Amino acid sequence: MKVLGIVGSPRKQGNTYELIKYTLDKIKSGGFDTELVQLAGKKIQPCTACNTCKEIKKCSIDDDLWELFEKMLSADGILIGSPVYSGTAPGLLKSLLERTSWLTYTTGRKFERKIGAPIVVAARAGHNFTHAELLMWFHAKGFYMVGSNYWNIAFGWEKGDVVNDKTAYRTLDCLADNFIYLLKHLKEA
């Protein structure tokens, strides 16, 4: 079974990357395959509401989204990491959420019964809203959502700041343990 970690920041190798990588490494040590993808540098346009996907079961926009959508479909679990930008998720990640959202409706709800969790980082505020925003995406796609000992949030401004947030890492340890537990049970089911 495989877990895909999506780093939703437009900044490469930043705080979101650190948190997703840490959690994926823990899940890997539990015996599962993992893959990390950074959205930074990728071209993912917003949905244009052309509704072509209803007809041909594919997105009409020719950019980096489709390849990523296929990776998401082949994963058993997905972690989505997001920095907070102006109190919410950055536009690049929102483009991914809205297009994959529409594609799951038009191609047959293929995220149903996968496992998912958000991880959010901000310098000062906006974590809860962004965390909730991502949970709502997971919920409406039919994911099993994994809990932890707190919301999966961390503090950091400059690249690497987040490694000083020890409380966040304790939350990610618990999240990874719960993720592994559920993966094992689903594997047996």
**Which residue ranges make up the site for ligand FMN (CB under 6 A)?**
9, 11, 14-16, 83-87, 121-126, 156-157, 159
Which of 38, 43, 73, 41 is CA-nearest to residue 61? Answer: 43
Residue 26: name the closest of 180, 151, 186 by CA.
180
Cα(115)–Cα(77) distance, integer angstroms: 4
* Least spacing, CB of residue 73 vs ligand FMN, in Å: 25
C-alpha–C-alpha distance, residues 31 and 149, integer Å: 22
Looking at the Cβ atoms of 86 and 189, the one nearer to ligand FMN is 86
Q: How far is the CB of 10 from ligand FMN (least distance, A)?
A: 7
Closer residue to ligand FMN, CB minimum distance, 38 or 100? 38
Residue 89 to residue 83: CA distance in whole angstroms: 6
Q: Which is nearer to ligand FMN, 44 or 84 (CB)?
A: 84
Residue nearest to ligand FMN (CB): 14
